[in-house]
Chain A
Amino acid sequence: MASKRSYLLVGLVIAVLDFFVPFYVLKDVGSFFGSYFFWSALTLTVIVSGLLYVDRTWGSKG
């Protein structure tokens, strides 16, 4: 099933970004524009994409 693979892929990409960028790229950045901003921005991106996906794909039924 294609959707099963795409779910897995999206989940993996999110997990990799969520962990590796703060721990290995932004670790020593002493500013709100370091890990704090990155995690907030990543979450917001997933929220907006998730909501757009839900809104566009879950049809108009009910």
Chain B
Amino acid sequence: MEFASPRHAMTWLHTWLGLIFGFVLMVCFFFGALSVFDREIDRWAIPETRFDPQPMPSFDQVLLPAYQRMQPDQAEYDRMMPLYHDPAAGPMTPRNELPVDEYWAYTTHRDPVLQIGVGFRVPHPLESVGHNHIHANTTIDPRTGDEVPNSALKIGSDWFYPLHYSLNLEWNSVGYYIVGLAAFFMLVALVSGIWMHRKLFRELFTFRPWKSRLRSILDLHNLTGVVALPFHFFFALTGLIIFASTFYMPVSDTLLKPLHEQQEALEASQNGLPHERSGIPAPLASVDAMVLEAKRLWAERGMAGEVGFLMVSHVGDANSFVSIYRAGSDRVALVGEAIHFRGSDGSLLLQELDHPAVESANEFLTGLHLQHFEHWSLRWLYLFGGLLGCACIATGFLFFIEKRKFQHAREGQFGSRLVEACALACVTGLLLATLAMLVANRLLPEGDQRADWQKWIFCGAWLASLLHGFVRANTHNAARASAAWYEQVWLISILAALAVLTNAITTGDHLLRTLLLEPYMAVAGVDLVLLVCALGATLTARYLQRRHEQACQRVLPSQPASALLDGGAA
């Protein structure tokens, strides 16, 4: 393929990469934007957890009994145990007899409930080195230690959040690779977009809604792409960095595995944190006393804070150690200032004061993406950035369609209508699926299958949106957009209002209560955003419907797309 100039090559690259990966990127940006408030969506979806955020509870009184009740995950045991276990060393240890090797707990300033986990050791591992663990993860009420039931799906942090980085496609981690590829090509699309734009600074503030449709869509695409360019660039890049070592370039687990393990052992011998179990049993001293000491040491260094992450390694062994990390609420890094204690007697083993520059840079980059810091203004600005990304991708789709639809209609091609149906599923369809899930969350009866039903309703609504787009695609009149746009926007408006209504009816937490009588901003915030969404969708649907009806009365114009770009018909 030959191009007249590098700019033409960049245009081709930007157009086709944007189209192919835009559908995936739309999912990443939209659910990434929702994930900024994942904990708040969780509170909305699980009314039993609507109480104030809690600090890390007592390990000795609350966490330890909760850990002791936990059993290795059945599915993970079935999947991984045959891979980890060495049959030559003896029979496979039954699931509920696996010995405990590690405990962990993680919380942030927005969490009323606490995520905890246990790593169970495989007694006869095929490879003696490496992480041979079968896990058990759960969420508890830190006030009592009681488990939050599994049927209560955390829609924000267990559905929307993983959707934006794995598409919830767990089979062979294929979703991670698709998203990684899309993120990489987004960086390419950004660079090619800048190259082809030419008037980046001259037209920085330019949006001309009074010009032709094609011109105004392109203006909006450029505007939403350029104003948040640093946001788009860094979020694609840091998204890749976060999963680089696990999925995209796992050299420490493949090519450089022996070197990696040597380095781990060397680091352990240098910093005094035991790398292996000693084989000598030893009880665990009071972890609460270690937490108190860690807080005292942080305060002594002028950075008093709460515990964000706590981990006990080599549980029940003389080499056991407890790692306590300060919550990074007041800075970008997730956690930091780790202090490690010997598990058997609580003596101080290591204080991590300064990190190497590379590690600090990595912590900053991952922290800015995962945003567990306590900064509500920045959180809203992130939401705005994510929605700008969605607008940029959506207008990219619209530009693609508008530019080609007359030509395709004349030639009897279905291309632009196919893209329109897919764009519908990725723009209005995502909103419909999200809102359908929220309404289902409030209306479905209690039961073991409740979480699964919510997921199926989400997928069903999304698929229905795509099918509706195909059914309503019109090939005979290119001058008008598909009627599916305004029909789906009307449905968005209805579902958003219905979500607020069902929340008020089923929980009693109407806006009057959550805003004024017993303020609870997590739920009030979600309700208010839903109402704004309902209002915005109503206005948009009315506008789109009016325009569609006017277009129905028009005759198919004959001028080419380039004439429209230069400022022709509206």
Q: Do A and B come from one complex?
A: no
B interface residue numbers (CB < 8 A to A):
none
